[in-house]
Structures are given as structure tokens and as C-alpha cells.
Amino acid sequence: GICYEGTDWYLPKCHEDAEKMKNLFCGHWGFIDSLENTRCLIDWPDAPDSTRPTNANIKAGMRWLVEGAMPGDSLVFFYCGHGSQQLNLDRREKDGFDEVLVPVDAKTEGMLVDDEINEMLVQPLPAGVRLTCFLDSCHSGGGLDLPYQWNPYMEEG
């Protein structure tokens, strides 16, 4: 959860949202709350550098999440912070824009681009692994850069 305290980007309650989601998954859905199984990056003012949601730490967390995943595994990624768009320079985006996540150090280390997120979180997964991803941010609909999007209003039935 990223609140961006002390900046013009301040978002209230992101810390609490991250904690509540962790408690929901570990307390109600059987995920194990241990250092081997759960990582939570929050930009508390006194947080150690290793647990702050920096560009490098978020990327490392994504790699950690999918590393060693095997068929039958269920993985969860939750992001609560700013999202945005930036001009797509390789012309692969239909709308001309990449969706991005905004790490706490985005001004110096850059955004997390949807192409990178797809390469780190989606592409390494073997068949039979379930990844549930929550992006609680603006412009999150294409945040994983998947080749399709589900639209519940287009279903027949």
C-alpha cells in the first residue's frame, strides 16, 4: 500500500487496504501468513528500505511471487496506490498508451510499465497456476497488458 505521505500525490487509507487484504487472504482463505509465503510492501514513514514499495522492491516482489510456481498453486498480487498512463513508444498499444503503476520512488526510479508487469508476473507462470491480481489504482484495466479483457456487460445469458 502506497500513501505517498508528504507529497502532492497523497492517498489516504492505502496502508490499511493492504493490511486488510492480507488479513482477508490469510485469515479467511487459507493463505499462510509467514515470511516464506507472504510479502507486504507499505510506505510507512519508519519502514525499513527493504519493505518500502519502491520500483526495485515491487519488481523483486513480483519475481519472488512467481518463482517456483507449480501447477495447482494459487498466487495473489495486490497493489494499492496511484496508477497512470504514459505514451507507448513501440506502437503495441491500441490506444497509444501504456498503463503504469506508480512506486513510492517513481520520480527518481520511474514507473512500472504494463509490459514489464506482464513479463514478470504473467509470462513466467506455468499452465495450471492461478494468479489473482488486484490493482486498486487508476488506469488498472490494462495493467497486466493481457491480450483480452473481460466485460461483464457483453456476456450473453
Q: How far apart are CA 116 and CA 96, in angstroms?
A: 16
Q: How far apart are CA 141 and CA 46, in angstroms?
A: 32
Are 46 and 5 in contact by the 8 Å Cβ rule? The answer is no
Give CA torsion, residues 5, 110, 101, 64, to 10 deg: -100
Which one of the listed residues 26, 40, 133, 138 is annotated catalytic? 138
Concerning whether 138 is annotated as a catalytic residue, the answer is yes
Are 97 and 115 in contact by the 8 Å Cβ rule? The answer is no
Concerning whether 14 is annotated as a catalytic residue, the answer is no
CB atoms within 10 A of CB 121: 22
Which one of the listed residues 3, 14, 15, 82 is annotated catalytic? 82
Residues known to be catalytic: 82, 138
